[in-house]
Amino acid sequence: MKPSVLLAALLLLPASLAPAGETLAFDPAPAGAEPGPSWRWPVAPRPPVLRDFDPPPKPWLSGHRGVDLGTASDGAQVTSPAAGTVSFVGVVVDRPVITIDHGNGLRSSFEPVESSLAAGSAVTAGQVIGTALPGHCPATSCVHWGVRRGGDYVNPLQFVMDLRPSILLPLGAPPR
């Protein structure tokens, strides 16, 4: 296999193949925006995704505006995926929620998470922000992670995984 073809194949492998627990750094911002922060998984070890991001076609319809991440147990530590400032800690409907403003219009929210932090607290990437409580996933322990860019929910996994499709190039094709 030619070195250029091998290099192209390696560059196109999904970043999600990185070893468990490794922090992946890339630009999650839209094209033309300034580079984004490096984000980490908010629970360790790298969790299974129990329910994917499934936004509704219209903002007022039902859907799943985040991802459910499996945790080792209820009471598992939840950490900040990136540096920021706690903007909300409290109960929404019947669940404890913590929200972190990461700047540049990005906010993460986690539920059900019990936290002793107060709004206005600065947090660093990887800092414990609370503990997972039971009640969100019926059959197992989990945490719901949502991310908003401005007023729109976006897929949180784009900040910790490379979600671009893999592209196979024919042998001998010039690298892109």
List pLDDT tens digits, range 50-75: 999 999 988 889 989 999 999 988 89
Q: Is residue 175 part of a domain?
A: no
Q: Is residue 84 part of a domain?
A: yes
Amino acid at 48: P
pLDDT at 35 over 70: no
Q: Is residue 107 part of a domain?
A: yes
Q: What's the domain range around 50?
A: 3-159
CATH number of the domain encompassing residue 70: 2.70.70.10
In which residue are the tokens 């906010």 written? 107
Under 8 Å between Cβ of 84 and 100: yes
Amino acid at 100: I
For the chain, first and last CA: distance in Å?
A: 17
Neighbours of 11 (CB within 10 A): 9
Under 8 Å between Cβ of 134 and 141: yes
Q: Is residue 65 part of a domain?
A: yes
Q: Which two tokens stand for residue 8?
A: 């192209």
The residue-averaged pLDDT of 131-142 equals 90
Ranking 79-83, 124-128, 138-142 by mean pLDDT, the lowest is: 138-142
Under 8 Å between Cβ of 43 and 132: yes
pTM: 0.73
The residue ranking higher by pLDDT, 9 or 144, is: 144
What local confidence, expressed as pLDDT, does residue 85 receive?
Answer: 98
Q: What are phi and psi of 131, to 5 degrees?
A: -125, 145
Query: Which distant-in-sequence residues (6+ apart) come within 8 Å of 31 by Cβ?
Result: none
Q: Is residue 39 part of a domain?
A: yes
Q: Is residue 167 part of a domain?
A: no
Query: Which distant-in-sequence residues (6+ apart) come within 8 Å of 3 by Cβ?
Result: none
Q: Is residue 168 part of a domain?
A: no
Q: Is residue 164 part of a domain?
A: no
Domains of the chain: total: 1
Exposure letters 88-119 (e unless 16+ CB within 10 A, then b): ebeeeeeebbbbbbbeeebbbbbbbbebebee
Q: Which two tokens stand for residue 147?
A: 């991310």
Rg (CA), the chain: 18
